[in-house]
Each structure stands twice: as structure tokens, then as C-alpha cells.
Amino acid sequence: MADPNVLNPHPPEFDRFLYASVGEDRNGYAVTVLSTLARLGLDPWNETAELVTLGRDAARARLGTLLARFRDVPALASDHGRIARDLSQLLPEGPTSGALQRAASTVADGRPGTSGAIWAVLAIIFVLFQMFMVGGSGSGE
């Protein structure tokens, strides 16, 4: 049977952490952990999986280091330690679900935890697109 998470391979246990606010940017917009990690050039889901595998204290320290590097949110300059502590409380306790274990294994071995099913779905969509948009061969009459 196909994996039910093939179209959304990201563990839902990460959502509370990734969508938490780290503060407001200079324009007054809320900035999330997800956007912070992405703006730092990191994959938010891989980084979160790594933080989970580190344990709460090491994750808090790593997160504090990352937040200190992020300059788009002025409040982080002076308060990154407290914000890292609060955000680390939102991390899941450990790899408990299948999706969370796959994400953690992705960090461990550097390969995605999903199968080639995503590529198969994309190939089917591409073929269907070609059939409907380009059309079949014929005389054109």
C-alpha cells in the first residue's frame, strides 16, 4: 500500500515548532521559525529533525546560535536566548511517529525518507499535461 504521506512527506509533529513566531521583522510582519531557517539557507524540516535528535538542551543551544545569526528580526539581537528556550519547548520529544523517524533518518544518512512515488506522480502529471495541452498526432482537420 502506498504511503499516505507521499504528497506531504513532512512530519506534522514539526508544525507547531516550524510555524511559531520568532518575532516581527522591520516591516512589522511576523516571521516564523520556518522562514527564519529558510532565510538562513537551511532546509527547515531537516534542521528540525536534527534538533529533535539532539535533545532539548543541545537543541536549545543550536537554535540560539541560529537565531543569533538571523538579522531580519531586531528583537533577536538581544533576546535570542529566551526565544530559543521558548521555541525549543515546541519541539517533539523524540522520533516517535513513522514520519518523524523518516525525517530523522534523512538527517542521519542524507537521503530522503520517501520512495520514488513522488517522481512517479510527477511523471504521470507531466504525461497527462502533454496529452491534453499538446494533443495527439493527427491530420489537424
Residue 31 is predicted with a pLDDT of 96
To the question of pTM greater than 0.85 for the whole model, the response is no
* Three-class HEC string of the chain: CCCCCCCCCCCHHHHHHHCCEEEECCCCCEEEHHHHHHHCCCCHHHHHHHHHHHCHHHHHHHHHHHHHHCCCCCCHHHHHHHHHHHHHCCCCCCCCCHHHHHHHHHHHHCCCCCCCHHHHHHHHHHHHHHHHHHCCCCCCC
Residue 124 is predicted with a pLDDT of 72
Residue 5 is predicted with a pLDDT of 53
Residue 136 is predicted with a pLDDT of 57
Per-residue pLDDT of the chain (141 residues), as tens digits, is 555 555 556 678 999 999 999 999 999 999 999 999 999 999 999 999 999 999 899 999 999 999 999 999 998 888 899 999 999 999 998 654 444 455 555 544 454 444 455 666 666 776 776 767 766 555 555
